[in-house]
Amino acid sequence: MNYKSAGVDIDAGNEAVNRIKDGVKSTFTSNVLTGLGSFGSLYDLKPILKNYKNPVMVQSIDGVGTKTIIARKLEKFDTIGIDLLSACANDILVMGALPLTFLDYIANDKL
């Protein structure tokens, strides 16, 4: 048994990453220390932490939920990313923190 016979298409996953990588990289600041595709990432906090006495890192990850159903019905996909980023940033802002990073995952009904 291999991934493909189990229903996991690694080539399709890599193609999805290739489609978004330039957009993702365009959001990187000099604080981002790793490239796209790692299982984790490194973010340099030194320039930011010098401004705080007791720094605490706040992270949030979310999904767009059923908004994809509406987007499909309307054939309008250009605002889903905005909704997702806003949801995550707002979750951080309401805790009194500054959004520094964006965590992601790609959910699909077919691997």
CA atoms within 13 A on the CB side of 14: 3
- CATH classification at residue 44: 3.30.1330.10
Asked whether residue 32 carries a pLDDT value surpassing 80, the answer given is yes
Domain that holds residue 51: 4-93
- Looking at the domain assignment, is residue 29 inside a domain? yes
Contact call for residues 89 and 99 (beta carbons, < 8 A): yes
- Report the pLDDT averaged over residues 87-92: 93
Tell me how many domains the chain contains: 1
Q: For residue 110, what pLDDT band results from cuts at 50, 70 and 90?
A: low
What does pTM read for this prediction? 0.70
18 belongs to a structural domain: yes
pLDDT value of position 35: 86
- Residue 88: Cβ-neighbour burial (10 angstroms; 0-12, 13-18, 19+): buried
